[in-house]
Amino acid sequence: MIFGVAICAPVIVALAPTGYALWRFSRLPVSASKLSQLKPGMDTARVEKILGKPTHRGVFTNQFIGNWTQWTYSNPGNWKFVCVYFDGKGVFENYIED
């Protein structure tokens, strides 16, 4: 029994940073509890107060939809991100997680 512990303990300790990195790699940059506070109709100031400053802000024009704004939240080294969408007047519409 002691032999098994002597082998397993160093392996667990050696692999722990890798497991943490993989777990962190797949985490959303914004918590689910903060995202659940977002309600359609909020202005950009209220959304920023809840989520913080976005990583990237973009304003787009589409011939069918018109103007809209997308805020992207991401963390370096993570592949997950959250996009928050506002209409042309800066009113929150929805968000997606990817």
Q: What is the pLDDT of residues 74-85, one digit of tens each?
A: 988 778 999 999
Residue 1 CA to residue 90 CA, distance in Å, equals 64
Q: Is residue 24 predicted with pLDDT exceeding 70? A: no
Q: Look over the chain and give the mean of its residue pLDDT values, rounded to a whole number.
A: 82
Domains annotated on the chain, with CATH: 2-97 (3.30.1450.10)
Q: Is residue 5 predicted with pLDDT exceeding 80? A: no
Residue 10: pLDDT band with limits 50, 70, 90: low
In DSSP notation, 24-56 reads HHTS-SS-HHHHTT--TT-BHHHHHHHH-S-SE
Residue 37's pLDDT is 98
Q: Does pTM surpass 0.75?
A: no
